Amino acid sequence: MSNTNHSLESIVSTLRTTRNADDDSLKILIETSQNCQCLFDAADSVRRENYGINVYVRGLIELSNYCKNNCYYCGIRCGNPVVERYRLTDDEILNCCEIGYELGYRTFVLQGGEDGLFNDNRVCKIVTEIRKRYADCAITLSLGEKSETAYKSFYDAGANRYLLRHETANDAHYAKLHPPEMMLENRKQCLWNLKRIGYQVGSGFMVGTPYQTTDCLLDDLRFLQELQPDMIGIGPFLSHRDTPFASFQNGSMQQTLRMIAILRLMFPYALLPATTALGTIDPLGREFGLKVGANVLMPNLSPITVRKKYELYDNKICTGEEAAECRNCLAGRVASVGYEIVTHIGNVKR
């Protein structure tokens, strides 16, 4: 056994037993080009201890691709004049829930750009109606930065969970990915507000964004240790042709898989999705994600007619003709790696 392998193994073992490691050890795991099978195996075994072979599914409904923000990486940034904008009607949203419920989804994720026309009243109205119709389902919102009052009113209307990735926990790096009016501090404040209100909170970051260093990823892990979120969504950065980052390289799948595995060891209870971005960078990316600690899938429930328009990055999967088949397709994919989709609300196990 080589020295490096030996030290990888001892780092993994420390991380598994203490859910923590010193900065230098974490950096070795984040950066290594060594075979990380011991990391992946440990992550899968911790996943099985906590969640067995269960995979939870969340039906993702993309409400609107209007966005007032101008993040440099994102295909639906307001500065992109090429994207064809759309908004779902309340009826279309409820119809997606109805189809989703029939298919076995017990969590609906309402996601969208920061669209002024989905104002607080309208969101409350939609949440109230979904809550009334589906008492046994979780309602997850992913609508960006809002006031604490707005978050509270959505919660009181029946929303249970909120997803808001911090994107990067390093201030200087945050400023390289976003225009000056966007601030990491506000993002973090939103996450703390959501927690205080009582939401199950999801955060997360992209792997391989332009200007990201190992220290940035370490900052992400340390911030998550503070926040202790219920869900952590990560995926590789993928460039979009009509953004300022069009010519930057995509993130790496291997590094994303290592980060998922590290997160599983640090947060044994967490809900970790194998994301669409991971399935886009490699046809088997989501399957690999499941094998290294991920336990959630978030298939698209949006009407097929709008899916292509919610293109955060190039070549996003499940936007074409095959999209109606996602549920069956996923069942097969999950079974192929030895796990099982469950029809279950899938709350976090703390």
Q: Which residues here bind ligand 5AD, judged by CB under 6 A?
A: 73-74, 165, 167, 206, 235, 237-238, 240, 277, 312-313
- Closest to 339 (Cα-Cα) out of 293, 277, 281: 293
Amino acid at 94: L
Task: Write out the binding residues for ligand FES, residues 308-347 only, by CB under 6 A.
Answer: 318, 322-323, 325-326, 329-330
- Tell me the number of residues near ligand FES by CB under 6 A: 8
Instruction: Indicate which of ligand 5AD, ligand FES, none lies near residue 277 (CB less than 5 to 8 Å, by partner kind).
Output: ligand 5AD
- 55 binds ligand FES per the rule CB under 6 A: no
Instruction: Indicate which of ligand 5AD, ligand FES, none lies near residue 167 (CB less than 5 to 8 Å, by partner kind).
Output: ligand 5AD
Nearer to ligand 5AD by C-beta: 15 or 207?
A: 207
CB of 217 to ligand FES, least distance (A): 28
Instruction: Indicate which of ligand 5AD, ligand FES, none lies near residue 67 (CB less than 5 to 8 Å, by partner kind).
Output: none
CB of 308 to ligand 5AD, least distance (A): 16
Instruction: Indicate which of ligand FES, ligand 5AD, none lies near residue 289 (CB less than 5 to 8 Å, by partner kind).
Output: none
CB of 323 to ligand FES, least distance (A): 6
- 283 binds ligand FES per the rule CB under 6 A: no
Instruction: Indicate which of ligand FES, ligand 5AD, none lies near residue 56 (CB less than 5 to 8 Å, by partner kind).
Output: none
CB of 239 to ligand FES, least distance (A): 22
Q: Is residue 62 a contact partner of residue 307, using CB atoms and an 8 Å limit? A: yes
Nearer to ligand 5AD by C-beta: 38 or 270?
A: 270
Residue nearest to ligand FES (CB): 329
Q: Which residues bind ligand FES (CB under 6 A)?
A: 299, 318, 322-323, 325-326, 329-330
